[in-house]
Amino acid sequence: MGTSGDAAPEARKTTITPKAVIYQKYGSRASYEVEEVQESAQNGCPGLYIPQKGPSLFRCRLNLPELSIVSETFKKKKDAEQAAAEMAIQK
């Protein structure tokens, strides 16, 4: 029979994401607006125009009380949000 209190809990590495830092500092005053950006795919034939949908990319605007930050485009919404938060921390 084992005892339940003797087992040591595993040590977890807690890394705070830039988005978590912004939330701790500003709370509900910080707002994220994610927009989908369509990249146009280039066609190999210059005389033939066939519209093709390129990959969906995302850009995030982080609105804080004293400034507004716009991220680069990313393939994932989460990456765009984290990048905007990281840019805000650096300023």
pLDDT of residue 9: 53
3-15 tens-digit pLDDT: 555 555 555 667 8
Q: Which residues of the chain are modeled with pLDDT < 50?
A: none
Tell me if the pTM is above 0.75: no
pLDDT of residue 10: 55
Burial of residue 80 (number of CB atoms within 10 Å: 0-12, 13-18, 19+) = buried
pLDDT of residue 11: 53
β-strand 53-63 against 31-40: which pairing, if any? antiparallel
pLDDT of residue 46: 63
Pick from 89, 33, 91, 90: which is nearest to 58 by CA? 33
pLDDT of residue 91: 84
Domain ranges of the chain: 32-41+52-91
Classify domain 32-41+52-91 by CATH architecture. 2-Layer Sandwich (3.30)
